[in-house]
């Protein structure tokens, strides 16, 4: 079976990401209620569009690649549900940064 994000190709400068799961247990083993869990601002890029066209008509490629870990803004993005999994669609310019390994 083909993964859901393989069936979905973002257009223009859009980036499809899968957010990391929020931690529900502290290192000491204490269970955290949902309200005290922080927002998850890290994600893995699962699909990217071809890029956007600049004023001169040239293609401006997307600045991230599939598999990279990125930092997202606290708000924004469009929720997309593919095969019962939550993904988020962001513009390339909305992504705050990427983690270098």
Q: What DSSP letter does each residue of the chain carry, written as one string? A: ---GGGS----TTEEEEEEPPPP-B-TTSPBPPGGGSPP--EEEEEEE---EE-TTS-EE--S--TT-EEE--SS--EEEEETTEEEEEEEGGG--EE---
Residue-wise pLDDT for 32-87, tens only, equals: 665 555 567 889 999 998 888 888 888 888 889 999 999 998 888 889 888 888 89
Q: Please, which pLDDT band fits residue 1 given cuts at 50, 70 and 90?
A: very low
- pLDDT at position 28: 72
Could you state, in order of their start, the residue ranges of all structural domains in the chain?
14-98
Q: Evaluate whether the domain defined by 14-98 bears CATH number 2.30.33.40.
A: yes
- The residue whose two tokens read 């690649």 is 65
Q: Please, which pLDDT band fits residue 22 given cuts at 50, 70 and 90?
A: low
Residue-wise pLDDT for 44-56, tens only, equals: 999 998 888 888 8
Which is more confidently placed, 3 or 64? 64
- pLDDT at position 5: 54
Using alpha carbons only, give the angle 10, 46, 97 rounded to the nearest 5 degrees: 95
- The residue whose two tokens read 């988020």 is 88
Please state, in angstroms and rounded to a whole number, the distance separating the CA atoms of residues 22 and 80.
18
């Amino acid at each position: 079976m083909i993964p859901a994000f393989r069936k979905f190709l973002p257009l223009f400068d859009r980036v499809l990401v899968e957010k990391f799961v929020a931690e529900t247990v502290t290192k000491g083993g204490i269970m955290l209620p949902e309200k005290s869990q922080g927002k998850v601002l890290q994600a893995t890029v699962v699909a990217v569009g071809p890029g956007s066209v600049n004023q001169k008509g040239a293609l401006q490629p997307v600045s991230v690649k599939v598999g990279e870990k990125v930092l997202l803004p606290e708000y924004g993005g469009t929720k997309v549900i593919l095969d019962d999994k939550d993904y988020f669609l962001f513009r390339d310019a909305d992504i705050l940064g990427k983690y270098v390994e």
